[in-house]
A and B are shown apart, each in its own frame.
Chain A
Amino acid sequence: MSEQAQETVGTIGDVEFGAELPAFAPDTGLENVKRFGREVGWGGGRFTDHEVARKEGFPGAIVPGVMSQGYLGAMIHRWAPKSEIVAIDTVFRAPVLVDHPHRIVGVVTDVDEDAGTVEIDISIVNEREETRVFGTATVRLPAD
């Protein structure tokens, strides 16, 4: 059972067990991935060129794993702007394809008011509702 997605939360007291985070559509467009490659790294052909990626056996260019992990962090910060992500673990189950729409969904799986932290399960899913990346995060929020 899940709660209605709450746009943003400010404090740990705002967070309900089972609450869904507002879904977030990351920018998986080729231009954005190319920019990431130029400015940060991971500019190889499998990430920035559909033809090169196909020659390597992928259906098309793929989003770097480090960028997918960054999407997850961004979604958490959008939901809880005053939060600190103290741990995040990300499992790359299948490629996130460039130029394909994806969305990120998350749910609160634990609230520890004494520690001031919440646990979140968070996933990147494609148009077929297939999970491509799965993560768990521990997030610290202010008490009030």
Chain B
Amino acid sequence: MKADIDELRSGFLNRGFDEVTFEIDGNTFAEYARACGETDPRFTDPADPDFQAPPTYVSTLVGGRALPSDFPNLGGVGMDAGKGVEWMAPIRAGATLTGKSHMHDIYTKTGRSGRMVFLVRRMELYDQDGTHVANADTRTVIRERSSE
């Protein structure tokens, strides 16, 4: 049976369901930067005066829950369909970030093989001073099983 998307949207969008804390290690994000091919010392060299995490680094920060505890099982297998980042301020080595997650969007696309449900989870990241430094979105796609 297909999920009622309007019902899911009204029940879950913009409702916080997870909060976690991250201690940001400069050596880890410098390794991330080098492995991805960054060459700018502001991302790779802890001695650089402007040393900071590459904006996409926040996509590696994983919350405690992927979905709200009462979110229904949609029946199909979820796959990672994409990542989005909105960057607002530099994230420095030693920062303590708080990640607050909510369902940001729920929508469908229909193809030859049936309907796919897209779930967009947004983690808003705040530093220790309460400054909103980034949003990290994870888009999961679930191909619904056809009803017999």
Contacts and interface: CB of A to CB of B under 8 A. Distances in A.
Interface stretch (B1-9, B55-63, B101-109): B55-63
Contacts of A67: 35-36
B35 A36 contact: yes
B14 interface: no
B87 A74 contact: no
Contact of B56 (A33, A42, A73, A78): A73
A102 B38 CA distance: 16
Interface of A: 24, 26-27, 32-33, 35-36, 39-42, 65-67, 69-75, 77-78, 81, 84-92
B26 interface: no
A73 B83 CA distance: 12
A94 to B, nearest CB: 11
B81 A73 contact: no
Given A39-B28, A40-B31, A86-B87, A77 B82 contact: no
Given A40-B28, A40-B32, A88-B85, A74 B80 contact: no
Given A69-B59, A78-B39, 6 more contacts: A42-B60, A74-B36, A74-B39, A89-B82, A89-B83, A91-B81
A72 B55 CA distance: 11
A74 B39 CA distance: 8
A74 B35 CA distance: 10
Contacts of A39: 28, 31-32, 35
Contact of B38 (A74, A87, A91, A92): A74
Interface of B: 28, 31-33, 35-40, 43, 54-57, 59-60, 62, 80-88, 137, 139
A21 B88 CA distance: 24
Given A40-B28, A74-B33, A74-B38, A65 B55 contact: no
Contacts of B60: 40-42, 66
A54 B62 CA distance: 26
Closest 7 pairs (CB-CB, A-B)? A70-B36, A39-B31, A74-B37, A89-B84, A36-B35, A73-B56, A91-B82
A65 B37 contact: no
Nearest to A89: B84
A67 B84 CA distance: 13
A90 B54 contact: no
A85 B35 contact: no
Contact of B85 (A36, A87, A92): A87
A33 B38 CA distance: 15
Contacts of B59: 66, 69-70
A117 to B, nearest CB: 12
